[in-house]
Amino acid sequence: MTQTNTFEPGLLSVFRLLAGLRLGLLVLAVASRSIWLGAGNAQLVSAKYGDYFAIFDLVEATLLVIYLWWPAGQRRLGRWFLPVGLLLACIGPMVGHYLALTRLSPDDLIEMRALLGAWQLIPILFVPLILIAWQYSFRWVIYYCLATAGFDLALKVMALGWGSPFLLAPTGAVVTRTIAYLIVGYMVIRLMTFQRQQRHALAQANRQLTHYATTLEQLTISRERNRLARELHDTLAHTLSASAVQLEAIKVSVETGSAQTQSIVDQALQTTRSGLSETRRALQSLRASPLEDLGLALAVRHLAEMQTTRAGAELIWQSPAVLRDVPPAVEQSIYRVAQEALENMVRHAAACHVSVRL
């Protein structure tokens, strides 16, 4: 059976609802029958088997409801939870009818055949048919129809006898029921196949929409970063460059001055150059990410090579030949983490050897 650990949406809820509805109807039938028998009809033929038949049906329906609402059942049985429930829903009613037939005497058969005919099982066995067609393939609908027909006929032969004149009508009802079940099951399978295709197409469209939204967000961020980089380059970088040139001129003009003045100018010039270098590096980072051009592995390696060259350290690079695909947001996070770690190394570690493993 093509089973999965997850069932079709709403299937178990419908199964529980129908099982509870059947139990409620049986309780109502038993209560109504008790009132009817209390009115003086206990000597009728139908009363001879009624208690036995009704109590068995009530017990098996109650057990089915308890099983379906068993809190740990689905977790423990997994994919077998539904098949076991379907088996209980099929076997119980058929065995109940068999037991009811065995309680009849030959004189009662003609009078009671309308009540005990195979037609009574049609609505009861129809529920498992719909659930099987809902969850599984048409092959299992065929197995279900043939198995219920064979089991039902075997029980009726055991109860009525192989040569019984009353066996022909139930046999015809079982054959008719089986053909009708196959037709209905095929129709449900086609509808469920179409619904699954629509659901799959919708999920695919949602994934594509999410991807498009992420791409659009990254494009918007990239454009904004480029805009900020241009503005900073046109303002702050030019200002620092001009300040550096002016400090160079001041240094030349005060070369004959005091040593303290030269020290102050040198310090200001060093600070300006450092700020200019950091500004240029920040502007480069604000521009389009190397991830878009190089990919994650090459972008991180290029970043590590630049930072180790800047720190005067030796790079030890370790990375697999092929990395598994990850979402763009994850790639961006990995790149930013590597960038921050390498920046901290340059500023604070004073390292001679830097090992980067991706």
Q: Which tens digit of pLDDT belongs to each residue from 194-249?
A: 988 998 999 889 988 888 887 787 777 777 777 777 766 666 666 667 777 766 77
Provide the domain limits for residue 159.
11-166
Residue with the bigger pLDDT between 252 and 83: it is 83
Confidence of residue 183 (pLDDT cuts 50, 70, 90): very high
- Distance separating alpha carbons of residues 143 and 159, to the nearest angstrom: 24
The pLDDT tens digits of the residues spanning 275-329 come to: 667 776 666 666 546 666 667 788 888 888 888 887 788 888 888 777 777 777 7
Single residue among 145, 166, 187 that ends a domain in this structure: 166
The pLDDT tens digits of the residues spanning 97-151 come to: 777 767 655 555 443 453 455 677 888 899 999 999 999 989 999 999 999 999 9
What is the number of structural domains in the chain? Answer: 2
Would you give the end-to-end CA distance of the chain in angstroms?
Answer: 44
Single residue among 143, 166, 189 that ends a domain in this structure: 166
Q: Where are the beta strands (DSSP E) in the chain?
A: 314-318, 353-357
Per-residue pLDDT at 237: 65
* Contact criterion met (CB below 8 Å) for 128 and 86: yes
* Contact criterion met (CB below 8 Å) for 302 and 290: yes
Residue 211 lies in a domain: no
Cα four-point dihedral sign 108, 51, 120, 135: negative
- Distance separating alpha carbons of residues 259 and 265, to the nearest angstrom: 10
Question: What is the pTM assigned to this prediction?
Answer: 0.56
| CB-based burial label for 137 (10 Å; 0-12, 13-18, 19+) | middle
The pLDDT tens digits of the residues spanning 266-285 come to: 777 777 777 667 776 666 66
Residues 160 and 299 in one domain: no
Residue 288 lies in a domain: no
Single residue among 166, 191, 218 that ends a domain in this structure: 166
CATH number at residue 319: 3.30.565.10
Residue 353 lies in a domain: yes
Residue 354 lies in a domain: yes
Residue 22 lies in a domain: yes
